[in-house]
Amino acid sequence: MLTYTALRAADRDSAAMHAAAPEPVERDQDRAARLVEGLPFAAFTLGPDGRVRVFNTAAAALFGVDRARAVGRAIIEVIPSVDLERMLQAALAGETRTRDIVLGAVARQRYFGVTAQPYESGAMAIASDRTALLAAERMRSEFIGNVSHELRTPLSAMKLMLETVLISEDDAEARALFLPQIQGEVERMIRLVEDLLDLARSESGTLQLRVERFDLGDMAASTVNTFAHRADGLGVELELDAPAAVPVDADRGALTQVLVNLVDNALRHTPAGGNVAVEVGREGADAVLRVRDTGAGIPYADLPRVFERFYVVDRSRSREHGGTGLGLAIAKHLVESHGGSLVAESVYGTGSTFTMRVPAPAGLSVSPDIKER
């Protein structure tokens, strides 16, 4: 039979055991915290008081937040977004919401897709950076819109001209006026489709380069000769400066296309009496080709975008001279497929310079550098 003293001792031991063991709620909260922490994507939780309970490693990396400083703070202190705060307040009230929030200054805005929902008597949010995805979607939409516009405009004009010719029956004057214009529009659409195919191949990485060793200066001379008659007709002086051989291991056809696009672009934007110069030389380990013009130049705000698809500084002038807005984008991809670079420099009102660099074969004698002007 237990004595009173023994019973009291047993009660004390039992109380001590219960005190040492965590409560079920605390165990559940610890387990939930470990679960959120182990998630491979950005996630964080709030307690019923609206303060951060768990901020996992992925969330800290995504938002650039110190995890230790985040815990225990109001979410607006951790991530300065009123939209996010409202989403989490709704989640604390039992509502699930999904939307994009925007963080950062206008020039460096980032878009985060966030889902906030009730969780463990509080709320949980999961997030992902959607900036690149949304940018790609905008580019896709702009691309489709630009292609549609470039095709719809000539097709509408051709339809109108053909209807006029058909209505006119045997009107020789109508045929003489409209049929050459229809032919010109057809040729422009063919160029557009060919440019689109070239761009698709170069962007997808399926372009097969036929690498051979040739003299970059010799290729430039052949290309300049093909533009000589056009330059004369425009009243523009076209000259080549290639004082010595510059061997390259590259696809001759691809680099010829690059130079054709650069010279064509320069001639289209250089008025009569101006000058377009093609220069070839070697600078360090690079073979360098420059196309300089004394045309209108490129406004500073437009300069970073000149290699974008369909981006033209003066669309009306481009249409007048047959440009598709794809030539520079194609040229840049072709040069980069050779491990090189293509950059543009310009002072508005005084002209532009486009510089192509590709690796020159190692172990060859160095030809004279291009003279800087």
Q: Beta strand pairing status for 275-283 and 237-241?
A: parallel
Q: Which of 38, 121, 42, 135 is nearest to 84 (CA)?
A: 42
What one-character-per-residue DSSP string does 106-168 give?
GGG-EEEEEEEEEETTEEEEEEEE-HHHHHHHHHHHHHHHHHHHHHHHHHHHHHHHHHHHHHH
User: Six-digit token pair at 45?
Assistant: 């939780």
286 in Cβ contact with 336 (< 8 Å): no
CA 25, 92, 49, 85 dihedral sign is positive
H or E element in which residue 45 lies: strand 42-46
Enter the tokens of residue 353.
């310079």
CATH of 209-373 given 3.40.47.10, 1.20.120.160, 3.30.70.20, 3.30.565.10? 3.30.565.10
Ranges of the chain with pLDDT below 70: 1-29, 106-107, 142-143, 145-146, 149-150, 195, 199, 202-207, 312-324, 363-373
Write down the pLDDT at residue 146.
66
How do strand 237-241 and strand 52-55 relate by DSSP bridges?
unpaired
The domain limits of the chain are 4-129, 137-207, 209-373
What pLDDT is attached to residue 10?
44
Three-class secondary structure of residue 240 per DSSP: strand
- Look at the pTM and tell me if it is higher than 0.75: no
Residue 68: per-residue pLDDT: 87
Q: What is the pLDDT at residue 209?
A: 81
* CA 127 – CA 220 distance, rounded (Å): 52
* pLDDT of the residue at 308: 82
Q: What is the pLDDT of residue 326?
A: 77
Tokens standing for 124?
């949980």
State the CATH class of domain 137-207. Answer: mainly alpha
Residue 242: exposed, middle, or buried by beta-carbon count in 10 A (0-12, 13-18, 19+)? buried
Both tokens assigned to 32? 């939930």
State the Cα–Cα distance between residues 269 and 314, nearest whole angstrom: 10
Amino acid at 360: A
Q: Candidates 3.30.450.20, 2.30.42.10, 1.10.10.10, 3.90.730.10; correct CATH number of 4-129?
A: 3.30.450.20
Q: Phi/psi at 131 (nearest 5 deg)?
A: -60, -50
Q: With residue 353 as reference, give the H or E element that holds it.
A: strand 351-359
Q: Of 27, 61, 73, 56, which is closest to residue 124 (Cα–Cα)?
A: 56
Q: Which residues of 161-187 are buried (b: 16+ CB within 10 A; e: fewer)?
A: beeebeeeeeeeebeeebeeebeebee
pLDDT in tens, 183-229: 877 877 777 777 677 767 766 666 678 899 999 999 999 999 999 99
